[in-house]
């Protein structure tokens, strides 16, 4: 199933796959007339041909940031050769000299210092890793997106001496998503009742689609093409709400912990179901089954119980269902409104968590009466950071065709803890 990719993604839902892995095999040909050296920091596109490594100069940085309300997402690229490459595409062999890796890391925004330290440690702000010899410059410019790129600009300047070049958040999201959908084989999948199913999308039939990015809040973007999109809706009930309310209600210490709780919960303890109101009967006239949630947390009304009397697991589950349902519904309504067939969900709330994907899928299925399907991106969560990364000059990513990316099926996410934060996860591969 995951034949060439994604073995690193655990299906255990523990959230470690927040940072997923790209294994790239880059084939490039330098366009004959090429004289634009600045164009080349990563790779060029095309039919297999000659690859000319263009080492970035000191001004071109190799990482980009997405500083959201809850999480900081970091993408960096290295041309490090230290890993073996399982080259499945023999025909490309000789010329495929260039190997790059995308690294994905995330930090809680509240622990931004960990992030700064990580960057420092990795010397990312100096233009990348050990093999970059270019001297650091004072004017290093780093692409960043997310609200925090404004808020923390001074901090980055002060601590690392770098300027954050603010890229529009939506631009980045869309660029990231378009890139992934076009360039990565089997990027999109559906997830219903625990069944993951990859969806092959014809590039010519990709647009328009609805991109729902679930971060702290939720943005809904109608994407009509490269750089052509519109924020059509959104909701303030998003991942931040889940986590925020969840913390208040359960004392969980982290998002992942809260999410894990939800797996063991039963929302019937707290939600008022149609069956609770109708004495176990379906309210069939309006097509509501007895297990449909009539009112989230509605049962907490009638009981004489206190908060402490409810299991945190049940609370977490109810909360997750409430928020997922709601996002699924509003997304579907917007898709319907614009006649969009496809809805892609991304953002840290999804984070590959099977249960949130499941509930969102169920919601979309429910409201669309099966007409629409929720789809997810394997690299959700890093859309913004990836988009920001891609906004460096003319890196040429835009034209990447998916068959030119080969994902190697090795390297289960090796977690590299940052020096200061054991929970930091970073997965990388070539």
By CB under 8 A, tell whether 423 contacts another protein: no
Q: From the CB of 123, what's the least distance to another protein, in Å?
A: 27
Window 141-170: residues binding another protein (CB under 8 A): 146-148, 150-152, 168-170
Does 107 help bind another protein (rule: CB under 8 A)?
Answer: no
294 near another protein (CB under 8 A)? yes
Q: CB 172 → another protein: shortest distance, Å?
A: 12
Name residues contacting another protein, limited to 203-242 (CB under 8 A): 215-217, 231, 233, 235-241
Q: In the bound complex, what is the minimum distance in angstroms from residue 369's beta carbon to another protein?
A: 12
Q: Which residue in the block uniquely carries the two structure tokens 């859309």?
A: 383
Near another protein by CB under 8 A, which window of 8-16, 33-41, 244-252, 402-410?
Answer: 244-252
CA angle 7, 238, 308 (to 5 degrees): 95
Helix pair 169-183, 383-390: axis angle to 10 deg? 90
β 426-427/101-108 pair status: antiparallel
Closest to another protein by CB, 33 or 302: 302
Query: Are the CB atoms for 171 and 211 separated by under 8 Å?
Result: no
Choose between 8 and 68: whose C-beta lies nearer to another protein: 68
Beta-strand ranges (E) seen in 88-242 are: 101-108, 141-145, 163-166, 188-192, 195-198, 209-214, 218-225, 228-235
Task: Please report which helix (H) or strand (E) contains residue 375, including its range.
Answer: strand 373-377
Rounded distance between C-alpha atoms, residue 398 and residue 14, angstroms: 33
Piece of 51-59, 93-101, 205-213, 286-294 that binds another protein (CB under 8 A) = 286-294
Handedness of CA 303, 307, 309, 313 (dihedral sign): positive
Taking alpha carbons only, the member of 128, 80, 76, 121 closest to residue 417 is 121
Cα 76 from chain centroid?
15
Q: Which residues pair with 219 in a beta bridge?
A: 213, 234
Least distance (Å) from another protein to the CB of residue 385? 16
Among 135, 279, 370, 422, binds another protein (CB under 8 A): 279
**In the complex, minimum distance from the CB of residue 260 to another protein, in angstroms, rounded to a whole number:** 17
Q: Please identify, using beta-carbon distances, which residue of 267 and 404 lies nearer to another protein.
A: 267
Token pair belonging to 349: 């709330």
> How many residues belong to the site for another protein (CB under 8 A)?
73
Judged by CB under 8 A, the stretch of 129-137, 180-188, 292-300, 417-425 that binds another protein is 292-300
Q: Are strands 63-67 and 141-145 parallel, antiparallel or unpaired?
A: parallel
User: In the complex with another protein, which residue's Cβ is closer, 87 or 257?
Assistant: 257
Q: Nearest approach, Cβ of 293 to another protein (angstroms)?
A: 4
Centre a 10 Å sphere on the Cβ of residue 202 and count the other Cβ atoms it contains. Answer: 6
Q: What angle do CA 383, 427, 419 make, to 5 degrees?
A: 110
Is residue 287 classed exposed, middle or buried when 0-12, 13-18 and 19+ CB atoms within 10 A define those classes?
exposed
Contacting range for another protein; rule: CB under 8 A; set: 29-37, 102-110, 114-122, 354-362: 102-110
Which residue's CB is nearer to another protein, number 20 or number 296? 296
Q: How far is the CB of 104 from another protein (least distance, A)?
A: 21
Q: Report CA 182 to chain centroid distance, whole Å.
A: 16
Does 268 help bind another protein (rule: CB under 8 A)?
no
Task: Show the binding pattern over residues 361-380: x = contacts another protein (CB under 8 A), - = does not.
Answer: ------x-------------
**Within positions 306 to 365, which residues make up the interface with another protein, using CB under 8 A?**
306-307, 310, 315, 322, 325-326, 329-330, 333-334, 336-337
- The answer to whether 32 contacts another protein (rule: CB under 8 A) is no
Exactly one of 58, 136, 244, 393 binds another protein (CB under 8 A); which one?
A: 244
* Cα-trace Rg, the chain: 22
Q: x/- binding map, residues 400-419, to another protein, per CB under 8 A? A: --------------------
Binding flag, residue 16, another protein (CB under 8 A): no
Binding of residue 281 to another protein (CB under 8 A):
yes
Please say whether the beta carbons of 87 and 96 come within 8 A. Answer: yes
* Rounded least distance, CB 119 to another protein, Å: 20
In the complex with another protein, the residue whose CB is nearer, 70 or 408, is 70
Q: In the complex with another protein, which residue's Cβ is closer, 243 or 402?
A: 243
Alpha-carbon distances of 166 from 65, 150, 210, 235, 384, rounded to whole Å = 10, 7, 24, 23, 12
**Minimum distance from CB of 68 to another protein (Å)?**
7
Instruction: Confirm if 347 and 381 have CB atoms less than 8 A apart.
Output: yes
């Amino acid at each position: 199933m995951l034949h060439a990719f994604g073995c690193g993604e655990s299906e255990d839902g523990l959230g470690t796959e927040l940072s997923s892995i790209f294994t790239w095999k880059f084939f490039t040909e330098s366009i004959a007339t090429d004289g634009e050296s600045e164009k080349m920091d990563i790779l060029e596109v095309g039919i297999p041909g000659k690859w000319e490594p263009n080492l970035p100069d000191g001004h071109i940085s190799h990482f980009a940031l997405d500083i959201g309300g809850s999480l900081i997402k970091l993408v960096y690229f290295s041309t490090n050769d230290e890993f073996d490459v399982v080259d499945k595409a023999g025909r490309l062999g000789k010329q495929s000299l260039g190997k790059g890796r995308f690294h994905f890391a995330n930090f809680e925004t509240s622990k931004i210092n960990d992030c700064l330290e990580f960057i420092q440690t990795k010397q990312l702000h100096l233009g990348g890793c050990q093999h970059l010899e270019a001297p650091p410059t004072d004017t290093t410019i780093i692409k960043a997106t997310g609200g925090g790129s404004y808020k923390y600009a001074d901090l980055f300047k002060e601590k690392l001496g770098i300027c954050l070049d603010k890229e529009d958040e939506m631009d980045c999201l869309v660029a990231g998503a378009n890139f992934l959908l076009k360039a990565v084989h089997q990027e999109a999948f559906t997830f219903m009742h625990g069944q993951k199913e990859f969806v092959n999308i014809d590039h010519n039939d990709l647009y328009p689609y609805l991109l729902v990015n679930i971060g702290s809040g939720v943005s809904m973007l109608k994407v009509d093409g490269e750089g052509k999109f519109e924020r059509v809706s959104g909701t303030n009930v998003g991942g931040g709400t889940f986590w925020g309310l969840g913390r208040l209600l359960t004392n969980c210490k982290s998002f992942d912990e809260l999410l894990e709780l939800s797996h063991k919960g039963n929302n019937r303890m707290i939600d008022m179901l149609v069956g609770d109101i109708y004495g176990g009967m379906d309210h069939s006239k309006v097509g509501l089954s007895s297990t449909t949630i009539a009112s989230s947390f509605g049962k907490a009304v009638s009981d004489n119980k206190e908060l402490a009397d409810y299991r945190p697991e049940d609370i977490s589950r109810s909360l997750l269902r409430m928020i997922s349902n709601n996002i699924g519904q509003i997304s579907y309504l917007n898709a319907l409104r614009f006649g969009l067939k496809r809805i892609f969900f991304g953002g840290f709330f999804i984070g590959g968590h099977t249960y949130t994907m499941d509930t969102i899928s169920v919601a979309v299925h429910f409201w669309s009466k099966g007409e629409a399907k929720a789809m997810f991106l394997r690299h959700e969560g890093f859309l913004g950071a990836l988009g920001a990364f891609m906004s460096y000059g003319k890196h040429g990513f835009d034209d990447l065709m998916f068959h030119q990316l080969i994902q190697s099926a090795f390297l289960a996410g090796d977690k590299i803890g940052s020096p200061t934060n054991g929970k930091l996860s970073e997965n990388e591969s070539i």
